[in-house]
Structure 1
Amino acid sequence: MRQDKLDSIDLRILAALQREGRMTKSALAETVNLTPTPCWERLKRLEKAGYIKGYRAEVALEKIGSVTTVMVEVTLKQHRYEDFARFEQAVRGIDEVVECYATGGGIDYLLKVVARDIDTYQRLIDRLLIAEIGIDRYFTYVVTRAVKTALQPSVATLVPDGDIAPEKTSGRAG
């Protein structure tokens, strides 16, 4: 299934699940104005085509223990393919690195690190430097508070206006 094959019902299904991933099948069908069976078939098709990457819980880590979030700019010493690959392989294996983006411009990578505290973060950076994965420089920015957090923008912001019709409140299509 390619993007141009998504219709407004598919987009409404994605938008509804994005808002509430634990929605029951019958509630989803009602939300998108379908009967349960066709809605379920569309949902399975969207999952199989990779439009839905997974279902997960967002855990309140701060309720479990102390959490420090740090943004890190990283510049590598060399810029060959193998240098990027070595760095990327290393950060993929570190649980505290929750996001890593290769960037164009003045830095090579932007990382989001979530650690127990600043000392734990610094020990992580020290291990990366000792591992010789090509880091030339890094700059640390400690997050003092989250102003906005969203895993991704809503589906509706990514499609042309009008492609996601408003949800209906009565009557269902089959």
Structure 2
Amino acid sequence: MAPIKLDDRDIKILAILSREGRISKSDLAKRVNLSATPCWERLSRLEKAGIISGYRAEIELRHIAPQVSVFVMAELENHRAATFQAFEQAVDGYKEIISCWALGGGFDYLLHVITRDIDSYQQLIDDLLARPTGLARYFTYIVTKPVKHSAGFPFALLTGSDPETR
């Protein structure tokens, strides 16, 4: 699939939405110097192209219930395609695993897990190890405090400047 050609207005729309997903379409149109209809058409094109894959709220779980956030480095028992597929299918079945990335280099996967407590995290790991997932070794890193979480994508990397200052 060839990458879609984006102009400065498209990038500005994406930059605004990455930080302000609830902005009204009319306010978005004003911010990018377009009337409502052309702005909505651009937005629709970006959605259909899969560049905008969804809209969601960021939830502060600590205000709702106790929880623990854990990063897990996972190593598989071998590097056969079937093993990677089995592991990825297994990971997809756990709602507590909120993100999983395949890695090149020393470890095979990085998982981000959020559970009630350490006991429920260990139950998840025990279950992964008991099933035919291909998991050979894992290394647990418990988050002690969040330091930085950016809602916005660094569009300056793509364009050489901040799209909101154009």
TM class by smaller structure: over 0.9
Which stretches in structure 2 are left out of the alignment for 5+ residues?
none
Distance 1:165 1:98, change over 3 A: closer
Q: Runs of 4 or more off by more than 6 Å in structure 1?
A: none
The TM-score normalised by the length of structure 2 is: 0.92
- Report the 3-state secondary structure (helix = DSSP H, G, I; strand = E; otherwise coil) of the residue aligned with 2:16: helix
- Report the 3-state secondary structure (helix = DSSP H, G, I; strand = E; otherwise coil) of the residue aligned with 2:163: coil
- Report the 3-state secondary structure (helix = DSSP H, G, I; strand = E; otherwise coil) of the residue aligned with 2:159: coil
- Partner of 2:163 in structure 1? 164
Deviation for aligned residue 1:166: 2.4
Return the structure number with greater relative CO, CA threshold 8 A, min gap 6.
Answer: 1
Q: How do 1:105-116 residues align onto structure 2 when only pairs under 5 Å count?
A: 105-116=105-116
Structure 1 CA distance, aligned partners of 2:81 and 2:152? 29
Identity %: 52
RMSD, aligned α-carbons: 1.9
User: Are the counterparts in 1 of residues 74 and 138 from structure 2 also a CA contact under 8 Å?
Assistant: yes
Which stretches in structure 1 are left out of the alignment for 5+ residues?
168-174
Amino acid at match of 2:50: G
Which is higher, the Rg of structure 1 or of structure 2? Answer: 1
The TM-score normalised by the length of structure 1 is: 0.88
Q: Tell me whether 1:132 sits opposite 2:132 in the alignment.
A: yes
Structure 2 CA distance, aligned partners of 1:4 and 1:88? 29
Structure 2 CA distance, aligned partners of 1:87 and 1:151? 29
Deviation for aligned residue 1:120: 0.5
Amino acid at match of 2:109: Y
Amino acid at match of 1:164: P
The superposition leaves residues 47-91 of structure 1 with CA deviations (integer Å, 9 ceiling, x where unpaired) of: 111111011111111111011011111111111000010001000
How many residue pairs were aligned? 166
